């Protein structure tokens, strides 16, 4: 699964410029983005073919849901069952989005300690988490726009840490992911695969990440700097 990630403001604006999305985000850098919060996502503007930056609540609420609280259990969508699950099927067909990221976290138990790892691309460029979005209308008529991160099987870098990983999309496939298509099985087979491990790196970071209330640069400190437990291996890549 994917339940926390990192997004630097400068990299978000770099993404918007490269994708030709109008405007510059005033959002601050976020170092510990958690489900249930508003997150930026790039999508095709409803009723238009142009791209836009939207602010979506992380935790997808299907159009047919009776209560928006269902979103707390739908922060991730498994790539293998997108065309089967009623919660995600329509969104996968018509409402795909790109969730900009600078890195994401996953946890591994080391003794009694849950130690966070930060996963990034080599040289630390920004990338996208493959996403779905949905628009839900509350009984009082209010509209809530939400999203979920698509996950896939782990690559060899992720596998020792967790049995799932987010589906990562590099900048060059953004157009293809957002483009409408009926060939959903082909889309999934092409883009929703484990990302090549030799293009990624991982390192142990501060246990400050364990609390969603901590959202500052201290989350990126190496494990051990602030008294964290460590196993002697602070980073690895392939």
- CATH number for 134: 3.90.1680.10
Tens digits of per-residue pLDDT, 206-224?
Answer: 999 999 999 999 999 999 7
CA 208: distance to chain centroid? Answer: 20
pLDDT of residue 79: 97
Active site residue 106: yes
* Structural domain contains residue 212: no
DSSP state at residue 139: T
229 occurs within a structural domain: no
pLDDT higher than 60, residue 236: no
Give dist(CA 109, CA 123) in Å, integer: 27
**Residue 235 included in any domain:** no
Residue ranges with strand state E in 85-234: 96-101, 103-110, 113-121, 127-137, 143-152, 165-166, 168-169, 200-204
Give domain status of residue 82, yes or no: yes
Chain centre to alpha carbon of residue 67: 24
Asked if residue 213 belongs to a domain, the reply is no
Helix or strand run (H / E) with residue 176: helix 174-178
- What confidence category does residue 24 fall into, taking pLDDT thresholds of 50, 70 and 90? low
Closest of 73, 50, 63 to residue 133, by C-alpha: 63
Which one-letter DSSP state was computed for residue 98? E
Q: pLDDT-based confidence at 237, cuts 50/70/90?
A: very low
Flag whether 224 is in a domain.
no
- Please give the tally of structural domains in the chain: 1
DSSP 113: E
pLDDT at residue 1, rounded to an integer? 63
Q: Select which of 2, 97, 147, 219 is catalytic.
A: 2
Task: Return d(Cα 193, Cα 60) in angstroms, integer.
Answer: 22
Higher pLDDT: 171 or 22? It is: 171
The pLDDT tens digits of the residues spanning 35-78 come to 999 999 999 988 888 999 999 999 999 999 999 999 999 999 99
Residue 147 a catalytic site member? no
- Give the domain extent around 14: 5-104+124-194
Which one of 3, 52, 84, 106 is the catalytic residue? Answer: 106
């Amino acid at each position: 699964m994917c339940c926390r990630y990192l997004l630097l403001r400068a990299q978000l604006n770099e993404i918007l410029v490269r994708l030709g999305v109008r405007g510059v985000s005033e959002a601050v850098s976020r170092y510990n983005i958690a489900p249930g919060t508003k997150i930026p996502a790039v999508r095709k503007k409803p009723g238009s073919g142009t791209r836009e930056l939207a602010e979506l609540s992380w935790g997808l609420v299907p159009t047919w849901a009776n209560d928006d609280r269902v979103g707390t259990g739908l922060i991730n969508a498994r790539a293998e069952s997108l065309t089967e699950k009623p919660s995600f099927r329509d969104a996968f067909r018509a409402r795909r989005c790109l969730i900009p990221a600078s890195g994401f976290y996953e946890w591994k138990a080391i003794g009694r300690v849950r130690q966070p790892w930060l996963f990034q691309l080599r040289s630390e460029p920004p990338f996208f988490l493959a996403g779905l979005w949905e628009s839900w209308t509350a009984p009082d008529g209010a509209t809530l726009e939400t999203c979920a991160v698509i996950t896939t099987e782990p690559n060899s870098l992720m596998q020792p840490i967790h049995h799932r990983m987010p589906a990562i999309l590099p900048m060059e496939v953004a157009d293809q992911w957002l483009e409408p298509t009926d060939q959903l099985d082909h889309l999934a087979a092409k883009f929703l695969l484990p990302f090549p491990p030799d293009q990624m790196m991982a390192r142990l970071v501060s246990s400050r990440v364990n609390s969603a209330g901590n959202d500052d640069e201290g989350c990126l400190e190496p494990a051990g700097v602030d008294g964290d437990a460590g196993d002697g291996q602070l980073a690895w890549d392939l």
